[in-house]
Each structure stands twice: as C-alpha cells, then as structure tokens.
Chains A and B, each alone.
Chain A
Amino acid sequence: MCGIAGIIHRDGPGDIGAEMTRMLQSMKHRGPDSSGFALYGPPGDLLVMRIKLADPNEARGFGWSERLERHRNEVEHRLAKIGAMVDVMHGDQEYAYRVTFRYSGELKPLADYMEDVPGCEVLSLGHSLEIVKDLNDAESVAERYRLPGFTGTHAIGHVRMATESDVDISGAHPYWAYPFSDIAVVHNGQLTNYHMWRRRLERSGHRFQSECDSEIIAVYLAQKMDGGLSLETAMKQSLDELDGVFTYLVVTADSLGVAKDEMAAKPLVLYESPELVALASEEVAIRAVIGHEIDTYDPYEREVLVWHL
C-alpha cells in the first residue's frame, strides 16, 4: 500500500522534521515496515552526505561494531583522498552517518568511491538535501535520527509496506537521484516496465542499490533534467514512459512536484494555501500539521503539478 507525504513552505523555513514526522506517523497503518524522510535544510557552500554502512536487521557477527568503525574511518580517509575537506562527520547510529564537507569536483566519482567501501550506500548527496530512512515507524526513526527541530523549506516522506523487495534501508524510500545532487523521489505504486528502464539507465552508467522499482524514478527524472528539460516537462514525459500505477512526489533544491498515472489508481489529497502546500495519501496526514479546518481535493489522472519556493 505505502503512504507518501510532502510539504513545502512558501513563506520561509519551518520545522519540517517535526511536521513530516507527524504526517508520516498518522499514516503508519499504510506501511509499518520502514519510514523515510527527504528534508531540505538551508543550502550552504558545504556538501552534505548521508550514508549507511550496514542494515540494522542484518546478522551481527563478532566484530560487527569494529567492522563498522573501520568502514567509517575508511569513508573519512577516502573523502580526504579524493580532495574533500571534511567539516563534521556524525553518526546517529553506528551504521548511519551524516558528513558535511567542502568539495568542488564531480559527484559521481565521489559517490562511487564511497560505495566501494563494503556495505556503504550513499543515501543522499547535495547542498541541502538530506535523506534519513530506517526500519519501523516514523516516530521511532525521527527519534533515532533526532529529526524534530530540523528546519527547512520543503520535505517529502514515505511509509513503506514492502511488496516488491526486501525490508531494509536500501528498499526504503525516499530515493536519491544518484548521482545528481539534491533530487529525491517517493513513490506509491508499482512500475511494470521497471526492468527495461533499469537496464537503460544502467547503460548510462547509473547504479541501483535495491531491487525496488521506485528507485528508477528519481534517476529517470534527474537524467532528463540534466539533459536540459524542466522538472515539469520531465514529469509529463514520465506519464507516457513509465508503465504501471503510480503517484510519486519529487523534490529538487527549490521545488516539489507530484504526478499521477492515467488510471488515477493511487490516492493523493492536496491542500494548498498561500503559505504552504501539503499533500499526502490520506487527508489525516495533512490535518496532522494544520490545526484549522481545511478544504482539500484529489488531483485527477495524468496530472502533473509543481510548486517552486
């Protein structure tokens, strides 16, 4: 089933960490397997990278912690080696780290070099995007990663009921559009031409970390935007090029978009005001962050909507 949610503040930053937690927690019944957040803090000169070095539910043999510590040091070492000046490296979990650093080179070689460390997956990379995802419900993930208080302008999130692939961090949404900075996607639905698109994108040099069909949407859109298309045009093309049922949300450094397939098979409720736009699989999620009585509507089939900061 899965639940998706998005929020964009048009009048300056808000506590998107707490807001997205409340939105996702109110949709816990749509998917208790894992919860994920893509949050946009204030953009700066530094790059911010979120990585995981292992999965919380994998078998922990002897020396698990020591191995993670070794891999963490290897990541830091490799960052220095590739020419990045590390500012802060902090681990909310022993298997999940947030690193800020100064770096002016290409992102793809850096991401590939990091992911060459055993067990390492780059969850997000950009100047303002931070992806946090882990197993269990939104409140427990938010608590483990200290998300309440995260100030920013826009965010998307996802609660997952796994149908297509494993229950692990790699299979959790949101997906970062590797290797393009500051783009992420959450998706509710199934893509039926996933393998075709995956092979096509892999031939262009992109890597996929999971068996989850949703992972291709982010890379698909980012590649089109890299080729010069606007977000809106790329999303409109996706209506014809992606088969299956979907409602997906996409975020970039300064915008948030939603697209629905031609059967309107997956739900989405939308609330729009001059100050903020909030949208989710269920209205209860929108009401979780808006105290007053609201009017909402469901976008129709084949609708593509984009809001800019």
Chain B
Amino acid sequence: MKISYDARGLAEPAAQAPRVAVIDASGAAVFDAAELTTRQINLELRRLVYHEGVTDVTMRNPGARHSLAVGILARCRITIEGSLGYFGCGLIDGPEIHITGRVGWSVAENMMSGVVVIDKNAGSLTGAALRGGDVVVRGDVGARSGIDQKGGTIIVGGNAGTMTGFMLQRGRQVICGNVGGGLGDSMYDGAIYVGGKVTSLGVDCVEAGLDAADDEFLARKLRIYGIEAPAAWRKFVCGRKLWNYDNLEPAERKLVL
C-alpha cells in the first residue's frame, strides 16, 4: 500500500472512511482491515461509532499494525480479531475493547476510562500514563508496565518485566506471575499486587500488608475477567521517602537513591 504524506508529515491527509463495514440486523458491524491502511481503519471505526451510532464493532485482520483503534471517545464495544502493533487503543475514553491476539508496546496509553482486554501477550509500556479503566493482559507483559500511571487498574495474568510500575502515581497493578527487577521504582502512590516472585524492589518501594479491602478488590477484579488467582498476594506501596526529598540532607538523599 502506497501511503502519501502532507508537508507536515501527516499520513494520508485526504483519506476518507472506506465504508466497507457490514452492519447486520442487530446493528453490529464487521469489517476486514487486511486491505486498508492504518488511517482508513481508524476512519472506518470513527465513522461507525460516531456517525452510524454502532456500539458493537468487530475488526478482522489488523495484521499487527500500529496505532489502531486510537482516540475513540464514546461508549462502545470493539472486538479486534488478531494482534496489534505499537500504540494500540491509545487515548481512548469509554470503549470496551477485546483483542484476541497480542499487542506491542504502549497499549492503552493514556486511557481515561473503559476496558481493554488482551488475550495473549503484551509488549513493554502497557498502560503507560493510564488514567482510568482496566487494562487486562491474560499473557505476559514486557518492561515498565504502567509507567507514570495516574489511575485505573492494570491486571496481568502472567509475568511482568523490569521496572514494572515505574513512577506509578495513582491506581493499581495486579501481576499474577513473577516480576522483574526494580519493581515500583520511584512510585509516588498507588499499589502493586504481585502473586509470584519479585526479583528486586526499586527505589522507595516497600512491602505493605493486605487488608480486607485489598482482598475484596483482588477477588472482584479477577472474577470479572476470569483470571485464576495465585496462592498468595504481596502488596507493594510507596515508601514516601522521596516525597519531600528536597528537604533531605545530601547524605540522606543518597541513602534513598
């Protein structure tokens, strides 16, 4: 597919929604993305959700392309049959998206609300700067999940890589498997629950006890998404030593960092 760019470098400035989706009697739409460009796919999704009032869309053959199903700001249900590349489902507010394959880096980046469920693995930076909603990965995730997360919940059925919860500011992460080194490095607030082994804790991340509210939260979230709970949970929170580090003596700061 030949893709044109305008003077600013924007891809396909003149692209139009291809109008290839088939809407059945119940109002659900299906379309095949195999022969469409990234921009055409997103335009078709927007046409269906914003202009046709469709609330149930199925996309076939996404082919691991980048930046699909981004910027959708409406309540709807989107099923993606296949895998996404990088930056999938970013900047969304409202949709419930189910991806039957895997996703690359930065899925659901800056999501405000809604649900993104990924049946297989995810790359690094899953749910980066997440502000609300649930991101659920049934497989494993890469490094730096929920970097700069400011709300919402990230749930991982498998293992997570290094620096999980890096700079976490609010919200929660639930990792059923093992996590890599530097867990919760420089987190300000929020909580990370881990079911498996923890390689090492990052700067200013400490272990805390679980209370009844934690147990209820974990049981509820795993029940909703049908994920099996591990034998035991550990909870990690911010040690708060860096909250006012400007006032620390250099020697103390060195101790923390």
Contacts and interface: CB of A to CB of B under 8 A. Distances in A.
Interface of A: 262-265, 267, 269, 282-284, 286-287, 293, 295-298, 300-301
B180 interface: yes
Contacts of A284: 63-66, 85
Contacts of B123: 267, 269, 298
Contacts, number: 64
**5 closest pairs, A vs B, by CB?**
A283-B64, A264-B143, A301-B162, A298-B142, A297-B121
Given A283-B85, A287-B63, A297 B105 contact: no
Nearest to B199: A301
A262 B143 CA distance: 10
Given A264-B162, A282-B86, A284-B85, A298 B64 contact: no
Interface residues of B, number: 26
Contacts of B143: 263-265, 300-301
A247 to B, nearest CB: 12
A297 B161 contact: no
Given A269-B104, A287-B64, A300 B162 contact: yes
A262 B64 CA distance: 26
A284 B65 CA distance: 6
Given A284-B64, A297-B102, A262 B120 contact: no
Nearest to B143: A264
Task: Decide if the interface of chain B is mainly helix, strand, loop or mixed.
Answer: loop
Task: Decide if the interface of chain A is mainly helix, strand, loop or mixed.
Answer: loop
B30 to A, nearest CB: 17
A304 B124 CA distance: 18
Interface in B137-181: 139-140, 142-144, 161-163, 180-181
Contacts of B163: 263
B99 to A, nearest CB: 13
Contact of A267 (B121, B124, B139, B180): B124
Contacts of B83: 283, 296
Nearest to A266: B124
B239 interface: no
B37 to A, nearest CB: 13
B56 to A, nearest CB: 23
Contacts of A300: 142-143, 161-162, 180
